[in-house]
Amino acid sequence: MTRMNYAGAVVDVLRICLREDPRFAVMGNEILGLGPERVQFEALQQEFADRIFFPPCSEAAFTALAAGAAMCGQRIFAHLGLGSFAYPAFSSIANEIAGAHYASGGTIKLPVVLHLCHGVLMGGASQHSESPQAMFWNIPGIEIALPSSARQAKGLIRTAFRSDNPTLVISHGMMFGAEDDVPEEDYAIPFGVAEILREGRDVTLVAMSRTVGTALTAAELLAAEGIEVEVIDPRTLVPFDRRSLFDSVARTGRLVVADETRLSCGVASEIAAMVAEEGFDLLKAPIIRVARPDAPVSASPQQEAAMVPTPQKIAAAVRRVMGHG
């Protein structure tokens, strides 16, 4: 194990992939976000100068380029920037990438890795704070991973690289400095397998990406009150590990889903719907979603802070499903 930040883990796994596959290329600007960790990328630039590309500010074009290369067997890791910058590339993703394998009757393979940064940043306002993962979840044909730690980033990107499907890896824009113990060796974390970060008998609390840390803090607060929360991180939306979710809800009988996507048609909505539809008999209380309000993000700090799940909001939701408060 090595102590490493999230940015370092991304660099580490990209280096492994670049060394293994001489055709693999990396394309994008500010792949490690806007914070001080962004310069860690320079290590890769030095080692693989001929396979690192800084594209023009043309998200639609370079996303399609990466996909077209993948159709010819060359794998590219293409970084779209922030969630909002993926919107100009939406046609490339939704029209050209997601359905191509299906429409070709399985004859076209598209092993492209798309990456973007989501989440409420500091003062990102309406165009630099988006968390578009639920929109992409609504488009069949793309595997979607959301690492919640440096260790997960390394292992999930490794799996994305090996996949024959288009994959979308979504990092939280505020997580690049987050440190973790990361195995030095090459490893892959399979898609579709949730991680249980904390066991607890009373309430199942589902969270992904940066919200996992928030959920663990909430669980600490609640433990002090005698409420034992089980924190589950699905790690990938597509494929989704329904079994771990249902097993946990079967143990606890209660479900809270905390997520940074919006309340309506968000990640929490779909997870809640799965359990409401097929796990109703397991539930002792209604499901609660703690999600982003259905509004654009304000540039003003108090309003911005109110957009994200906090330990307090999550704890309040847990108390409600427990029937206290």
Ligand X SMILES: Cc1ncc(C[n+]2csc(CCOP(=O)(O)OP(=O)(O)O)c2C)c(N)n1
Q: Which of 16, 34, 53 is nearest to 119 (CA)?
A: 34
Region of 13-21, 81-89, 192-200, 316-324 interacting with ligand X (CB under 6 A) = 81-89
Residue with the two structure tokens 């090595």: 2
Residue with the two structure tokens 């494929």: 239
Among 48, 55, 221, 320, binds other proteins (CB under 8 A): 55
Region of 1-9, 154-162, 295-303, 309-317 interacting with other proteins (CB under 8 A) = 295-303
Nearer to ligand X, 48 or 90 (CB): 90
For residue 241, the minimal CB distance to other proteins (Å) is 33
The C-alpha atoms of residue 165 and residue 97 are separated, in whole angstroms, by 10
Cα separation values, 193 from 10, 122, 276, Å: 20, 32, 21
Does residue number 81 form part of the binding site for ligand X (CB under 6 A)? yes
For residue 212, the minimal CB distance to other proteins (Å) is 23
User: Under 8 Å CB-to-CB from 51, ≥6 apart: which residues?
Assistant: 18, 24, 25, 26
Residue count (the chain): 325
For residue 173, the minimal CB distance to ligand X (Å) is 12
Does residue number 161 form part of the binding site for ligand X (CB under 6 A)? no
Strands annotated E in the chain: 2-5, 25-27, 52-53, 76-82, 113-118, 143-145, 167-172, 179-182, 195-198, 203-206, 229-233, 236-238, 255-262, 288-292
Among 85, 176, 191, 240, binds ligand X (CB under 6 A): 85
124 binds, among other proteins, ligand X, none (CB under 5 to 8 A by kind): other proteins
Does residue number 56 form part of the binding site for other proteins (CB under 8 A)? yes
Among 39, 57, 276, 299, binds ligand X (CB under 6 A): 57
The C-alpha atoms of residue 231 and residue 206 are separated, in whole angstroms, by 6
Among 103, 122, 250, 273, binds other proteins (CB under 8 A): 122
Does residue number 33 form part of the binding site for ligand X (CB under 6 A)? no
Q: Which amino acid is at 133?
A: Q
Does residue number 102 form part of the binding site for other proteins (CB under 8 A)? no
Q: What is 99-144 written as a DSSP string?
A: THHHHTTT------EEEEEES--SS-GGGS---THHHHHTSTT-EE
> What number of chain residues touch ligand X (CB under 6 A)?
5
223 binds, among other proteins, ligand X, none (CB under 5 to 8 A by kind): none
Tell me which residues touch ligand X (CB under 6 A): 57, 59, 81, 85, 88
